[in-house]
Amino acid sequence: MIRNELSSKKPLNILEKIEESLEKLNDKIEIMIEIQKNGNTNNLRSPLQLPDASLDVMTLLSMPDHLRKTAMTICRCTRATAEEISDQTKRARAVESAYLNQLVIMGYLKKERKGRKAYFFIDKESLS
Amino acid sequence: MSKIIAVHSYKGGTGKTLFSVNLAAALAKAGKKVCVFDLDFRAPSLFAILKTPNVDFWLNDYLNNTCEISKTLINLSSRIPGNGTFYACLANPSTEAIRDMSSKDRKWEMRALGRLLALRDALLKNQEFDYLFFDTSPGLQYSSINAIVAADYVVVATTGDRSDVDGTKRMLSELYNLFEKKTGLVLNKVLDPSPTAKKTEMQNKIKADYQVPMLGMVPCFCEVLRAEGGLIFVQDKPDHPFTKILTEMARKIENNEIE
């Protein structure tokens, strides 16, 4: 069955799928590294626990410096990839990716994949 | 380059509105297209200073998402000499509106920040405004912090009053630093119009004390007090020393001579 599937798809598509999976895996590893670096997950609130998490200025003020910079940049862009954020903050893409994913876990941002790119944005429901 | 300028202070009565209006007027006089926004929703005052008749839409309406920003802009260019364009966007002074703005929740404030950030595209890019001035309310209010976050440059008005000095220092280190904002200090109501040498010494001391660059120093002028907020000095008293100081500050902003 796998052989049939492989033969029916172009090798390029398969490679793209592998790349996408690796990127997802990379995102997860980055989150785990970030959690390990910051001690524990106590300060990472899940969206289920905090459905109303809003990225207002008082929340921005109470954030640790490294996350505030990323959060403020996404506030200005509304929707962006980790690379676009890293262009503005002048930090590495992988670092911004980890911080953005952390903001997603905390319930402040949403993440959407379009093809090979992952877009981060402030939840439209909270903006409407 | 700084295009959106928030004028803020720790305490009230430091001259925020006076500076906002006169800095904007000085830039309009120099041929720029400017707009002053009243973000002091708890104590709106711009409408009284600019004596604007029949306002149909307020800044409150734009932030409440009930109208477009263009509907709230009032063209007051005829009041300013020169070829510039001077607009104002006012806060609703009615008690009901003040009460409404005081009871907004965090989600509303978050959306308000989004709408303030959207002004960069709506006005600077699409309508070719050169400068937007946010006249804020004093202290750590949501509307003021939203304005600071949305701005490129923050003018902090302060006086020599001890209660103001400590709070301003704290605000500079605990608020502006966290948001990494470019800041300029204006020391207002300076009692002793000292000779130049002494003035430089005083400026250096203040700079060292507050740890931020100075935009200017404004002596205490009796004429400013006598005007009771009813004059736009840049327009009504073009030769007054106050106008000259404010024009110099506007020139620094225009030429990006701010550290």
Number of domains in chain B: 1
Q: Is residue A97 part of a domain?
A: yes
Report the residue from B110, B178, B179 with minimal CB separation from A126.
Answer: B110
User: Which of the two residues, B198 and A115, has the higher pLDDT score?
Assistant: A115
Check residue A24 and give its pLDDT: 73
pLDDT band at A48 (very low <50, low <70, confident <90, very high): very low
Q: Tokens standing for B160?
A: 């020599």
Are the beta carbons of B216 and B199 closer than 8 angstroms? no
Q: Is residue B163 part of a domain?
A: yes
A 10 A CB-CB count for B25 gives 29
Q: Is residue B190 part of a domain?
A: yes
Report pLDDT digits (tens) over B47-56: 888 888 889 9
Range of the domain at B76: 4-254
Q: What SS3 string covers chain B?
A: CCCEEEEECCCCCCCHHHHHHHHHHHHHHCCCEEEEEEECCCCCCHHHHHCCCCCCCCHHHHHCCCCCHHHHCEECHHHCCCCCEEEEECCCCCHHHHHHHHCCCHHHHHHHHHHHHCHHHHHHHCCCCCEEEEEECCCCCHHHHHHHHHCCEEEEEECCCHHHHHHHHHHHHHHHCCCCCEEEEEEEEECCCCCHHHHHHHHHHHHHHHCCCEEEEEECCHHHHHCCCCCCHHHHCCCCHHHHHHHHHHHHHHCCCCC
Distance CA B74, CA B84 (A): 14
- Average pLDDT (B161-183) is 87
Q: Is residue A119 part of a domain?
A: yes
In the DSSP assignment, the letter for residue A54 is -
Q: A115 — alpha (psi -120 to 50), left (phi > 0) or beta?
A: left
Report the residue from B106, B109, B113 with minimal CB separation from A75.
Answer: B113
Q: Tokens standing for A2?
A: 């796998």
% of chain B exceeding 90 in pLDDT: 54
3-state secondary structure of A42: coil
CA distance A15 to chain B (A): 39
Report pLDDT digits (tens) over A67-121: 999 999 999 888 999 999 999 999 999 999 999 999 999 999 999 998 889 999 9
Query: Which of B65, B105, B106 should one mutate to test binding to chain A, selecting the residue with the greatest count of A CBs within 10 A?
Result: B106
Cβ partners under 8 Å of residue B120, min gap 6: B3, B4, B150
Q: Which residues of B touch A60 (CB under 8 A)?
A: 149, 179
Q: Which of A76, A95, A87, A103 shows the shortest CA–CA distance to A26?
A: A95
Question: What beta strand segments (E) does A1-128 contain?
Answer: 79-80, 110-114, 117-121
Q: Is residue A1 part of a domain?
A: no
Are the beta carbons of B206 and B187 closer than 8 angstroms? yes
Q: Is residue A3 part of a domain?
A: no
Cβ contact (<8 Å) for A61 and B178? yes
C-alpha neighbours within 13 Å on the C-beta side of residue A29? 7
The single residue listed with the structure tokens 């907004």 is B104
Give me the interface pTM, i.e. the ipTM: 0.78
Number of domains in chain A: 1
The single residue listed with the structure tokens 């709230």 is B72
| Interface residue B134 vs chain A (CB under 8 A) | no
Range of the domain at A36: 12-127
User: Which of the two residues, A20 and A74, has the higher pLDDT score?
Assistant: A74
Cβ contact (<8 Å) for B178 and A68? yes
Q: Which residues of B touch A57 (CB under 8 A)?
A: 109, 113, 142, 145-146, 149
Q: Which residues of A touch B178 (CB under 8 A)?
A: 61, 65, 68
% of chain B exceeding 70 in pLDDT: 94
CATH number at residue B127: 3.40.50.300
Q: Is residue A7 part of a domain?
A: no
A 10 A CB-CB count for B207 gives 14
Q: What is this structure's pTM?
A: 0.82
| Interface residue B43 vs chain A (CB under 8 A) | no
Check residue B50 and give its pLDDT: 87
CATH number at residue A19: 1.10.10.10
Q: Is residue B259 part of a domain?
A: no
Q: Which residues of B touch A54 (CB under 8 A)?
A: 106-107, 110
Residue A4 has pLDDT above 80, yes or no: no
Report pLDDT digits (tens) over B217-246: 888 877 777 676 666 877 878 888 888 999
Dihedral sign (CA A107, A112, A113, A119)? negative
User: Which of the two residues, B105 and B236, has the higher pLDDT score?
Assistant: B105
% of chain A exceeding 90 in pLDDT: 45
Check residue A3 and give its pLDDT: 58
Distance CA A60, CA B130 (A): 28
